[in-house]
Amino acid sequence: MRQSVLAVAAVGVVGLLAYVGLAQPYGRPPRPGGPRADAPASSPLPKDDAEKKILDVLDDMDRNQRRGMLNVPKEDGRLLRVLAESVGAKRVVEIGTSNGYSGIWFCLALRQTGGKLYTYEIDAGRAKLARENFKRAGVDELVTIIEGDAHKELPKLKDTVDSVDVVFLDADKDGYIDYLKTILPLVRPGGLILAHNVAQQAGSMKPFLEAITSNKDLETLFVHMQAAGVSVSLKKR
């Protein structure tokens, strides 16, 4: 019952994005020049000291660590948190940890839902930095970093968990289709498959985009909050 309420909330969030014009059909470019100058804007407001500590670390990473880390824009990070918290995610899987920026946004949700993040990174230096960032944000106990090639490591996840609530693809773009095939059977009905850079790098991920837009078990929207673009696919019940 609780899960269905949360899933309805998630669909509501997606519907709201569509209503305010942030969700657009596949193939349509983001609005030139970004959001209208008079569009409403908001900033994250910490509810308590623990949330403030995490947001402060994210701000610091935003200002001082972005170079070479290929992090999602802040607004996309906020979207990841809202979606994960809305579906009451207990298990989030991320492909492409980098220094942990998007992972920490997920952790803002997971500390409320009692969930865990499983995040995959092939680069040892970035994985080390991510470990440090998770620790200083105080969320390291919520996170398992799996170091190595996610194409080889992800198929082993089914031996550890029996279902996944949210998947976020943000690594090698031509590998998205392989990740989707591996993870989709593990995503629970009512779960979400999210993918980054769907507007920017649509060419490299064509088979993935075709797969998420032609599968009747999925409801897929494209949310071009920033030029990169995020796809949001609900695995229907």
Would you say 101 or 222 has its CB closer to ligand SAM?
Answer: 101
Distance CA 116, CA 139 (A): 10
In whole angstroms, the minimum distance from the beta carbon of 98 to ligand SAM comes to 3
Distances (CA, A) of 115 to 69, 107, 179: 25, 8, 21
In whole angstroms, the minimum distance from the beta carbon of 115 to ligand SAM comes to 17
Would you say 71 or 113 has its CB closer to ligand SAM?
Answer: 71
In whole angstroms, the minimum distance from the beta carbon of 6 to ligand SAM comes to 24
Distance CA 228, CA 75 (A): 11
Chain contacts with ligand SAM (rule: CB under 6 A): 70-72, 96, 98, 101-102, 120-123, 126, 149-151, 170-172, 175
In whole angstroms, the minimum distance from the beta carbon of 148 to ligand SAM comes to 7
* Phi, psi dihedral angles at 159 (to 5 degrees): -80, -15
Would you say 190 or 233 has its CB closer to ligand SAM?
Answer: 233
Distances (CA, A) of 222 to 40, 158, 185: 20, 28, 22
Q: What is the DSSP letter of 94?
A: E
Distances (CA, A) of 88 to 101, 106, 127, 165: 20, 11, 26, 8
As given in the structure block, the two tokens for residue 58 are 């994210």
In whole angstroms, the minimum distance from the beta carbon of 23 to ligand SAM comes to 20
Would you say 120 or 222 has its CB closer to ligand SAM?
Answer: 120
Q: CB of 211 within 8 A of CB of 180?
A: yes
In whole angstroms, the minimum distance from the beta carbon of 57 to ligand SAM comes to 13
Q: Residue with structure tokens 């949310």? A: 223
Nearest-Å Rg of the Cα atoms of the chain is: 17
Would you say 75 or 149 has its CB closer to ligand SAM?
Answer: 149
Across-strand partners of 93?
118, 167
Would you say 91 or 190 has its CB closer to ligand SAM?
Answer: 91
